[in-house]
Amino acid sequence: MLTKKQRDLLNFIHTRVQRDGVPPSFDEMKEALDLRSKSGIHRLITALEERGFIRRLAHRARALEILKLPDAMQANAGFSPRVIDGDKPASTPGNAIPITPGTVELPLMGRIAAGVPIEAISEVAHNVHVPQSMIGKGNHYALEVKGDSMIEAGINDGDVVVIRETSVANNGDIVVALVDGHEATLKRFRRNGAAIALEAANPAYETRVYRDDQVKVQGRLVGLIRTY
């Protein structure tokens, strides 16, 4: 049995992973559950891990994987884990979730900066296979992440992000943004009137604010592929 707080946190993590492809930060969890400190979140996460609902991914800051949901939540949520481990070691955990034959091939367009913007990428480097369940309607592509500015959103240097092509975004979405027509970056999107803020998920990086005519959304994050 889960307590209400444990169930609320599990549901919040699941909802955010389904929406963004990555877990929320500890600050976002604390705010969502109206807790005063991160220590409360740590205790809840430990309890969920001990009960087999989640696991923390080794050596990855803030990276969580949902292993199962309570029956009632699973029936309502259409549960499907969204953080996919890449090249697994020869000995894999018994509860590891394999990548099934239902995959699609996406173009890997090169690298995207999770730090200061770098030049926009338009040429296909090669293709990658991703689970069919990660892909919805519309066109998609993949990018390799360079930098650590999104680490508290569970996105690390070397990860591959799956992007759905779109030119619109809601506040809080993690997007590929084209700045001044030639620099691309992966950041959280915030609009305030005629200004657009591109927020990092790492306190070492400052939020950058632009005029709305300086920023074009190129896509929204829908999945994450992690290799070890």
| Residues recognised as catalytic | 149, 187
Q: Which of helix, strand or coil describes residue 225?
A: strand
Label the pairing between strands 195-199 and 183-192: antiparallel
* Calpha distance 196→210 (Å, rounded): 5
Report phi then psi at 48, rounded to 5: -65, -35
- The b/e string for 136-151 (b: 16+ C-beta within 10 A; e otherwise) is eeeebbbbbbbbbbbb
Contacts of 197 (CB under 8 A, 6+ apart): 189, 190, 191, 207, 208, 209, 210
In angstroms, the first-to-last Cα distance of the chain is: 33
CB-count exposure of residue 30 (10 Å: 0-12, 13-18, 19+): middle
